Structures are given as structure tokens and as C-alpha cells.
Structure 1
Amino acid sequence: MITIAISSQKGGVGKTTVSINLAHAFARSGKRTLLVDADPQGSVGLSLTRQSRSLNGFYDAIADPQFPLEQLIVPTRLETLSLVPAGQCSDYDLDGGSTGVALHRVRKFFKMAEEQGYEVCIVDTAAGLFGVTADILSTCSAVIIPQQAEPLGIRSVPKMLESLTRMRVVNPQLKVLGVVMTMVQNRLPESLEAVQALRSLLPQNMVMRTVVPREDLFIRASAKGLPVGVMEEGAGVLAVFEKLRQETEGKLEADSVLP
């Protein structure tokens, strides 16, 4: 099973949007896909099912490693796509550093998912590279970094990439697939300049070719509890995430973009 963490230094950059719609794209391609909400805010679950706050989920499995995975999985309208909500986070140390026990339990969770026959697991992580997010990155196959297309935001990206480089000491198999620019506004010069600035700042291939536009449709899709691609007017955005899926698969087959 390929496990892809969607991670960022801060919130509000489009992590959940990328997680939901990239998982939907993988599922549409025929791969059995598990979307895991590992953000204590539960944004994925709230976007796709309004009952998510009352459901058990990822953090219940981490708190109790004997919790059966089958009791955590929520099916979706697409047969190849399933969801594990965040669950109840109150008894878990969300802010502390990585521990051997926590890391072992995260690894066990992903192992159980693989045993269930899932081929791809997309994980929406909490912002920052500490606590549970660090444990996930210490375990997963790859990471994608969403970044909002605004001038101030891009300044934090090199620091995060340095942190991910250090993370690969713990997880040498971690592939840093690159930064995906989100909330890109083609009619706003400052937004396009931010994309170009990041491409100039980082090594070649570090910024993914596919960019995610800023669309009101994302808000409407969230209100309906749907991936944006299944909306009646969502064909254009569906094509964006299909391109992102293809680019992601290409990078998974190649070497990591970090040395």
C-alpha cells in the first residue's frame, strides 16, 4: 500500500481540499483508496459526513491498538473510496513529540489498512511536523506539501523542506513528491507571481506542474459533503486532480525529489 501524507507547516493552505480530491481521483482510477483524517479538527470528516464528530476513527485506533479497523471505516458513494474520520482525540497527546509507542501504533494502523486490501492511503495531517504528524511522516511512503499561492506564504516552504530532509533520517523510504500550489487565482498577478517565485526558489521538479485553482465550487462541494469532481459543474476541477494523480504516480515511480 502506498501511503501519502498531505502536510504543511500551517493551516489554511488547502490540505483538506487536496486530500479529499486526490483520494477521489485515485479511487476513480480503480485503486482501492482509503482517506484518513489525521487532523484533530476533523476537516475531512466534516466535509464528507456530518456525523463524523460522533464516529470513532484514527485517534481511537492510536489510543487503543486493539480497536478493529473495520469499525472505523466509513464507505462513500464510490465503491473504491472509503474514509476513516479523525475520531475522538481528547485522550491523545497531540502536541507532544514522537514516541516509540505512538509510532508503533501508527505503523500498525497502516498495516491493518494494507491487510484490508487498500492500495492507496491518503492522510490529511495536522499542520506542523510534530506529534502525530511526525509519527505519520516517519511511517508513510510519500508526502505532498500544499502551499497557498500568496507572497508571504512561500517564505516558509524552504524551512519545511529542510525539516522533511531531517525526517528522512528516521524514514529513509520517505519520498518528498513536491509542493503543490493551491488557491491559484489566474486573474490576480500577485498569485501568479507567487507561483513563479516558488518555482525560481526551489530546485527543478520540486514544485509540481499541476496547480489547484481557487474556486467557489470547493465551498459548495464541502457544503454538500462531496468531492468537487462529482459536482455537476465540476468537470474542470476533476481534470485538475486527475492530472495531479497522474503526476503523483509518476513521481512515486521515480526517485524522491530531495537528495
Structure 2
Amino acid sequence: MTAKRNETAEQLTGFEVAPNGPTGRPRTVFAVPAPLRGHGPARIISLCNQKGGVGKTTTAISLGAALADYGRRVLAVDFDPQGALSAGLGIASHDVPNIYDLMLGTVKDAKEAIQQTATPNLDVIPANIDLSAAEVHLVNEVAREQILARVLRQVKDDYDVILIDCQPSLGLLTVNALTAAHGVLIPLECEFFALRGVALLVETIDKVKDRLNPALELDGILATMYDSRTLHSREVLERVVETFGDKVFETVIGRTVKFPDASVAGAPITQFAPDHQAAEAYRQLARELITRGAIA
């Protein structure tokens, strides 16, 4: 029975199928993507979850680097006042043009705020604590939910994908990120309290889709900090798959101390520990997104 099921899955996907993965589905070996003949316009993906510490910034950094390694031109936008994405890539965020300046219009040209990282094809627009004042300054602006979209419109033709690392809230900044995006990726820690908030986030996504951005799609839910040794992690992942089905990525990110070590080093996990299973997991996620058509 299992052999027949795997054979059918292989015929449908066109990829080699291995034994079942953590999500309970046949594990697909996603093919290495072919090089692109041209670049742009970018597909914009917001990484959102109102709960902190679920792996949004780690995913933005590691996924961006993995896509860059596959020849995609990537722009990572730090949209969190904590500036963790900027720090995690070793990028200066103070005394330089940043996303706050672009949102307020004190810097007009978005290209002035873009910084190159040590990873070829991966650029960053940094953020710092100043961004925390943006909601106060923008509250009386006309079309305040669309300011980030107008900023990114200037540079979207230069990239294949733009990843927005959102702050852990559902305030005006996150609504801006959802209004600017084509898709949403939800990193979800395999823990019960993280699971409880997903329904509220999906409701917010639906409201933005209905009122501000009809093109917005849920690209998928990424299980993070998974520990196969604990029954709790396995039960949470099973519950997520039961609820969201194919919207849950087959790729699962395990818990490891290599992520904070890479952050301290200011480098993506794919460079800090390229042979580690965590680096391979993010390379698989990049391949899965490309296979799904979420990224060219």
C-alpha cells in the first residue's frame, strides 16, 4: 500500500519520493532550480506572525541567502524596530538611510537605503529603533496603509523576490507589509501558544485581502523550532497539518543552537554552517517555494 502511494506521488510531482517526512506526507526531494534568464519584477513576500520568537527573522535571513545562492536577486526589508535582520546580516542600521526614512519621506530614493551583504545577490534595507515611531507619525497620512508599497515600487524591477521581516504585532506596520505583498509566509513555532494566534493572523490577512490588497495570498505556514523527540512538537505539527493541509510547507525547520551562533556571527546559516541540516532545510524551503511557483 505504501509503495503504491509513493509511486502515485512520484508520478504527480515528477520528483523522487522518499519515506514520509515530519508532516506525515511523502517526503519530496525538490529539484535544484534552473538559473533565471532575466530578473524582476519581484514577488513580494511578508513574513508575519504577531507572536515573537517564532523564527521570522531567522527565516528571512536564511531563506534570502538560500534563494540568492540559487541565483535569485533578493532584497530583504527589515521592518522590525528591533533591527534584528540588519544585525543578523552584519549590516549597519544607525546613521544610514533606512526604511523609517523612506516611510516618512525624508529620503526619497529607495535605492539610497539599500546595502549589499556579504552574500552575493542578497541586499538589505535596514531598520532601527526609530521605526517604532512610524505608526504615530503616519496615523494621519492619506493612504497610510500603502506607504511601504509605494516605497518598494521603486525597486521591485531590480529583484526577483523581496522578503519583508515584520515586527511581532498586527499594527499599522504589519498592515503596510501585507498591503505591499503578493504572498504571506507564516513561521510557526511548534508550540501550543504559538498555534493559538494563527487564527487571528489569518483573519487579519483575510481582512487586508478583502479591503486593501485583493491579490494577497497565503503562500504557506512554515513549522519552526521542531523537535521530533518531544510528543508536544509532533502533536502541534499534526494539528497544523490537519487544519491547514497543503498550506503547510513540507519543509520543517528543526531546533538548533546553530541559529543564534550564526546571528552572533552576522551571517546566514547557509554560510555559517553550510553542511548543517539547518542550512539544508532552508535550501529545501527555497526549492519548495520555487517548485510551488511562489518564487520564479
- TM-score normalised to the size of structure 2? 0.79
Residue of structure 2 equivalent to 1:239: 280
Identity of aligned residues (%): 26
Residue of structure 2 equivalent to 1:173: 215
Q: Summarize the Cα distance change of 1:37–1:253 in structure 2 as closer, same or farther, 3 Å threshold.
A: closer
Between the aligned partners of 1:95 and 1:17, the Cα distance in structure 2 is 29
2:186 pairs with 1:126: no
Residue of structure 1 equivalent to 2:150: 108
Residue of structure 2 equivalent to 1:7: 48
Between the aligned partners of 1:85 and 1:253, the Cα distance in structure 2 is 24
Residue of structure 2 equivalent to 1:199: 241
Between the aligned partners of 1:207 and 1:95, the Cα distance in structure 2 is 37
Q: Secondary structure at the match of 1:204?
A: helix
Between the aligned partners of 1:121 and 1:56, the Cα distance in structure 2 is 18
Residue of structure 1 equivalent to 2:83: 42
2:103 pairs with 1:62: yes
Q: Summarize the Cα distance change of 1:55–1:13 in structure 2 as closer, same or farther, 3 Å threshold.
A: same
Aligned AA (1:230):
Q
Residue of structure 2 equivalent to 1:257: none
Q: Secondary structure at the match of 2:174?
A: helix
Is the Cα contact below 8 Å between 1:15 and 1:146 reproduced in 2?
A: yes
Q: Secondary structure at the match of 1:56?
A: coil
The counterpart of 1:183, out of the listed 211, 225, 229, is: 225
Q: Structure 1 regions of 5+ residues with no counterpart?
A: 255-259
Is the Cα contact below 8 Å between 1:175 and 1:252 reproduced in 2?
A: no
1:85 is displaced (CA, Å) by 0.5
Is the Cα contact below 8 Å between 1:39 and 1:86 reproduced in 2?
A: yes
Q: Deviations over 1:169-191 (max 9, x none)?
A: 12111110121111111222211
Q: Secondary structure at the match of 1:183?
A: strand
Q: Secondary structure at the match of 1:211?
A: strand
Residue of structure 1 equivalent to 2:31: none
Structure 1 stretches of at least 4 aligned residues deviating more than 6 Å after TM superposition: 95-98
The Cα RMSD (Å) is 2.2
Q: Structure 2 regions of 5+ residues with no counterpart?
A: 1-41
Determine which structure has more spread, i.e. the larger CA radius of gyration.
2
Is the Cα contact below 8 Å between 2:258 and 2:273 reproduced in 1?
A: no
- TM-score normalised to the size of structure 1? 0.89
Q: Secondary structure at the match of 2:78?
A: strand
Aligned AA (2:237):
V
Q: Which moved more, 1:235-244 or 1:210-219?
A: 235-244
- Count of equivalent residues: 252
1:94 is displaced (CA, Å) by 5.8
Q: Deviations over 1:175-222 (max 9, x none)?
A: 10121111111222211221112212x132122111111110001100
Between the aligned partners of 1:105 and 1:57, the Cα distance in structure 2 is 14
